[in-house]
Amino acid sequence: MVENKKIETLLILATVTGYSSTESQTDSTPHLTASQKHVKEGMTACPRKIPFGTKIEIAGKVYVCEDRMALKNDGKFDVWFKSKKEALDLG
C-alpha cells in the first residue's frame, strides 16, 4: 500500500550563513545538533517554526533542518560545514 503524503513547498527570502563545529560558533557541544544528531554535510540550522527533518533547498542544494539558530538569529538559516574556512566562504 502506498501512503499519500502532503508535500508543502514555500518560497522564503532569508539570510543564509555558514557555520562549523567550534564552540565559538555553537555551544559547548559543537558536534551535536539541537535535534541530538551528530553534525554532517547536508545539515542546516533553521528558524524554530520549521520542524526538524524538514528538507530545505538553498541555492539548488537540499539540506535537512537538524539544528536551531540562537534566538537573536531565529529568522535565519545556517548551513553546517566541515571547516571554518568553508563556512566563511558561504558567509
Cβ atoms within 10 Å of 30's Cβ, excluding its own = 15
The per-residue pLDDT for range 19-63, each reduced to its tens digit, is: 888 767 666 777 888 999 998 999 999 999 999 999 999 989 999
Q: What is the mean pLDDT of residues 67-89?
A: 90
The rounded distance, in Å, linking the Cα atoms of 25 and 30 is 8
The pLDDT-based confidence of 64 (bands split at 50, 70, 90) is very high
The predicted structure's pLDDT at residue 44: 94
Query: Residue with C-alpha cell 524538514?
Result: 54
pTM, full prediction: 0.79
- Residue 50: DSSP 8-state: S
How deeply is 89 buried, as exposed, middle or buried, from its count of CB atoms within 10 A (0-12, 13-18, 19+)? exposed
